[in-house]
Structure 1
Amino acid sequence: MQRLRIRHLTVYQFSGMVTLLPHRLLLRPREGHDVRIEASKLDISPAHRIKWHRDVFDNSVAVANFTETAQRLTIGSEVIIRHYEVAPLDFIVEDYAVHYPFEYLQEERVDLAPFQQPVYLDQQPVVRDWFNSLNLLRDKVETYVLLDRLNRIIAKEFRYVIREEPGVQPPEVTLAIRSGSCRDYATLFIETCRFLGLASRFVSGYSHVPELGPGGATTHAWAEVYLPGPGWKGFDPTAGELTGSRHIPVAVARHPEVVPPVAGSFVGPKGQIPMLTVDVQVTAL
């Protein structure tokens, strides 16, 4: 177990006064058997009211409604967690699902069906052709081994880039230019899993990188696949590894574009393009 302090500061600086419309914040980690929250606080300016709710995926969402105009928006989150995930390979897949292909149990299919449906349906032929070129199904293969190989291939054969542009690259683009950010890698992995009939979902959160020094961390994205037995297991195609103690999930979704940490809009003079700065620090306590 490790105790971690997560600090996430987002600042928008405008060239003039603006009216801030409601902002949706996904900054609170998902609690479970592996993550416990000890304390959390939000420090937001200008004046505002906060309402919390759980969305359809059980993500913890804060909605900030602002009560005054401003030239600067500051959103600071600080959370202290206990992280218990230390052995990501310590799981057993149910016998019927050990080897691919398999079918999910009837009682699970209705709930899993949305996570088997591609988001980029028109690009499934491109994803299919790419997957077939990998020749991963030439022999009988265990389901986990298939996913692990796919995860490692994306990490090894694509060039990682930091993209400041909002949104996610469609798989067709990632495959064409052979590069992308963590959210693009996760999307390609997810859409390939869905082509294979495996339920998968997008995860946004934080990656703790102690080797970067004190506070070393980034916002990060990866994928989860539903495996009978262990349930939702995380795969990080950016690193080519199973998720573990350095991965801190915040939100999950079927569609990769609906869970940014901060989302909102404003009304102001025409041509306003705010300057954005983001600082994320995760410190072991």
Structure 2
Amino acid sequence: MPTITIAHTTTYRYRTAVVLGPHRLMLRPRETRDLTLTAFDLEITPTARIDWSHDVAGNAIAIANFDVARETLSIRSHSTAILNAPDWPVFPIAAPATSYPFLYSTEDWTDLGALSAPQYQDDAGRLSNWVEQLVMHRPTDTLSLLKDVSNGITAQITYEIRESEGTQGPLETLDRGCGSCRDFAVLFAEAIRTLGFGASGVRLSLRPQ
């Protein structure tokens, strides 16, 4: 089982001392069955009061509050984790869903139907037309299809470090031909929604009838 370390450093420098407002930090990896966090250190300068909570997705959120004005702010985190996930497949697929297309059961559709609805306006169907080029056959192997979509994104979209807040829409990413990791995730999730998959972020719903 491989052990990985993740080091993250963010530093802000200001022309004059500024009053630092609360900062919302998402730096602690989320533990799952496939990832065991063995160490996590968070160092903030100047000293901050840290209040921890969890969001609805189970992510650990740290709110840093400051009492002093400073010309610099430094945030450093260091994580050590053990990966237990197999290289392939990365998750099991129910037998009836191994071949695409497949149908969700009525019960699952109640829970997952909204996750398959596109979240970005695309009146001309450009995203649907784009992802259709990556569908080799119908029927086809579901896991291979998802891998083809992922490979299509990395082949056609250039990775860039983008420090601006928020995410690009999928069509903007296609038009620009570049994006950050979160833009890749949005493009992937929206693309497979047009194929009928239920997707939340990069989590897929493969529970068919």
Calculate the TM-score normalised by the size of structure 1. Answer: 0.65
**Deviations 1:92-126 (Å, cap 9, x if unpaired)?**
42222122222333443344344323331346722
1:123–1:171 contact (8 Å) kept in structure 2? no
List 4+ stretches of structure 1 deviating above 6 A: none
After the TM superposition, which of the residue ranges 14-23 and 116-125 deviates more from structure 2?
116-125
What are the ranges of 5 or more consecutive residues in structure 2 without an aligned counterpart?
Answer: none
Match of 2:65 in 1: 65
SS in 1 for 2:165: coil
**Partner Cα separation in structure 2 for residue 90 and residue 186 of structure 1:** 16
Match of 1:37 in 2: 37
The within-5 A match list for 1:94-105 is: 94-105=94-105
* 2:167 matches 1:188: no
Match of 2:51 in 1: 51
SS in 1 for 2:125: helix
- Whichever residue aligns with residue 139 of structure 2, its letter is K
**Partner Cα separation in structure 1 for residue 148 and residue 184 of structure 2:** 14
1:115–1:201 contact (8 Å) kept in structure 2? yes
1:174–1:180 contact (8 Å) kept in structure 2? yes
2:101–2:139 contact (8 Å) kept in structure 1? no
After the TM superposition, which of the residue ranges 123-132 and 79-88 deviates more from structure 2?
123-132
1:6–1:79 contact (8 Å) kept in structure 2? yes
Bigger relative contact order, structure 1 or 2 (CA pairs below 8 A, ≥6 apart): 1
What are the ranges of 5 or more consecutive residues in structure 1 without an aligned counterpart?
Answer: 203-222, 230-285
- Whichever residue aligns with residue 29 of structure 2, its letter is P
Aligned-pair RMSD on alpha carbons? 2.4
Match of 2:204 in 1: 225
**Partner Cα separation in structure 2 for residue 146 and residue 54 of structure 1:** 34
The within-5 A match list for 1:119-198 is: 119-122=119-122, 125-132=125-132, 134=133, 136=135, 138-198=137-197
Cα separation, partners in 2 of 1:124 and 1:188, compared to 1, 3 Å? farther
SS in 2 for 1:121: coil
1:124–1:195 contact (8 Å) kept in structure 2? no
- Whichever residue aligns with residue 36 of structure 1, its letter is T
SS in 1 for 2:62: strand
Aligned length: 208
* 2:6 matches 1:27: no
**Deviations 1:173-227 (Å, cap 9, x if unpaired)?**
222233333322222111111112212233xxxxxxxxxxxxxxxxxxxx33233
**Partner Cα separation in structure 1 for residue 91 and residue 26 of structure 2:** 29
2:98–2:141 contact (8 Å) kept in structure 1? yes
SS in 2 for 1:118: coil
Structure ranking higher in strand proportion: 1
Shift of 1:16: 1.2
After the TM superposition, which of the residue ranges 183-192 and 122-131 deviates more from structure 2?
122-131
Calculate the TM-score normalised by the size of structure 2. Answer: 0.85
